[in-house]
Structures are given as C-alpha cells and as structure tokens.
Amino acid sequence: MNDILSAQIRQYYKAIFYWHKENGDVTIERIIKANQTWGRNNDNVNEYKSALEEMPHPEKATLYEMYFVAEKVRSGILEWNYTEKNHEDISLGDIANKIIELYKEAKNVKDAKESENTIFIVIDHDIQNDNEYFRKADVVYKNILLNNEKNIGGRVAVADTNLEFERLSGKESYKFRRPEYLNFEELPQGSIYDLVLNGHITVHEVNAKK
C-alpha cells in the first residue's frame, strides 16, 4: 500500500489507541453507570475490556487491524467514546472516520496496482454511481491502451462492456472483469493494431456511418 497513506493511518490510530489506554477505566465506569440506568447486565464491560486488551500497538498493527479498530469506534464497542476529543480537539469519531477513508483510498491504490500486474479483477463495493465507475474503470483498466492521438485503444470497449455486463447481471456491486470474461480476445502479433502501435501504419480517421 501507499507508504504516505499508511503513515497517516498509523498516526491517526495512535490517537485512538492511546486515548483508550489512558482512559479505559473512565470508560468502564461510564458503561457500568449506563448499564445501571438502563437495567442491563455488564456483558458490554467485558467486551470493552477485551477490545482494550486486543487493541494492537500502533508500531505493530497492520493496516487492516487499525481499520478494524476504527470501525469499532464508529459503530461498535469503542463507540462509547465517539465524541471524546484528543489534544488537538478532534473527536475520536472523526479520527476513526479519517482512518476508514484513508484505508479505503490505500486499498483502491493497491487494487489498481494489482490490476496492473496479473490479478486484473477487482470487486468494488464503494462505487456509488456510474460516474465513479467510469473514473475507477479508467484506473483499473489502465494497462489496456487508450491513445486517441493514434486512434487506437481497447480500454473504452472493455470498460463500457463491463458496465453493461454488471447491469445485466442485476447486482449492485461493480465488478471489473478481465477482457476474456467479456468475450474479448487480444489480436495476434502482426495484426493491424500491432502495426499501428509500432508506427508502420497510421490510422488517420475512424468514423461511424449508417
């Protein structure tokens, strides 16, 4: 993953980690008091203690572990302290949201990098609309050429057709298929595409007509 994003996530995670390590007892008292008020047992106290013990040290935590803790701050056992603020007056909830946002960004960068090599298929549950899909598709499929000056490509046909496949499959996620799963195959060496790519032939115009 991107080193800068990783360092930022770790920096934010430190704020959550040290706040809970220093204020765990206060939190437990708060939970017990709330339980008494609402007539609940103290199962959530034990859950909080476990979360506190299991929280990995900032120097050793993986990115996923930090993301996992942030999710608990946003919506889980660590949510008790969502509105507490660190020494820079930023709430733990805001810090958690920042970690989640950066983690997803880092993951997207990783996915794109993997697609550039061999994996070439990504399932993305974060894309909300077609415009986001078009932007992401341009990254995911970036190792398929698109050179409008030379009038050659392949990326557009794959990205557009993949979206149509998604629509027809009726699922809400956006999956990026390899070209072969879209019934595209690469032209062999020596094809007209190859000759254009290597400067032997120039394509001046390609226009659709009826």
Partner 1 sequence: MFWTIEIKLKNEDNEQHRLTIPKGHVFEKKSIGTGIQNVAAAHDYPVVLPPRSEIAMVIEVFCINQHLSPPSGSYNLTCFKISKSFANQQDLWSIMQP
Site residues for partner 1 per CB under 8 A: 130-131, 133-134, 137-138, 144-148, 151-161, 163-165, 167-169, 179-180, 182-187, 190-193, 195-197, 199-210
For residue 80, the Cα-to-chain-centroid distance in whole angstroms is 26
Dig out the tokens for 143 from the structure: 């190792």
Q: Shortest distance, CB of residue 136 to partner 1, whole angstroms?
A: 10
Please tell me what DSSP assigns to residue 77.
G
Least separation in angstroms between residue 163's CB and partner 1 is 8
> Contact at 8 Å (CB) between 143 and 116?
yes
Cα→Cα distances 179→16, 72, 88, 167, Å: 43, 39, 49, 17
Amino acid sitting at position 77: I
Residue the block writes with tokens 């899909």:
133
**Residue 205 beta carbon to partner 1: minimum distance, rounded to whole angstroms:** 5
In the bound state with partner 1, the residue whose beta carbon lies nearer, of 26 and 192, is 192
- Judged by beta carbon, residue 43 or residue 172, the one nearer partner 1 is 172
Cβ at position 99, least distance to partner 1 in Å? 31
Q: How far is the CB of 160 from partner 1 (least distance, A)?
A: 6
Cβ nearer to partner 1, comparing 172 with 205? 205
Gap between the Cα atoms of 61 and 55, Å rounded = 8
CA distance 145 to 99: 34
User: Residue 51 belongs to what H/E stretch?
Assistant: helix 43-54
Q: Which is nearer to partner 1, 118 or 131 (CB)?
A: 131
Q: Which residues pair with 174 in a beta bridge?
A: 124
CB of 187 to partner 1, least distance (A): 6
Tally Cβ neighbours within 10 Å of residue 29.
11
Q: Which is nearer to partner 1, 92 or 137 (CB)?
A: 137
Pick between residue 93 and residue 179 the one whose CB is nearest to partner 1.
Answer: 179
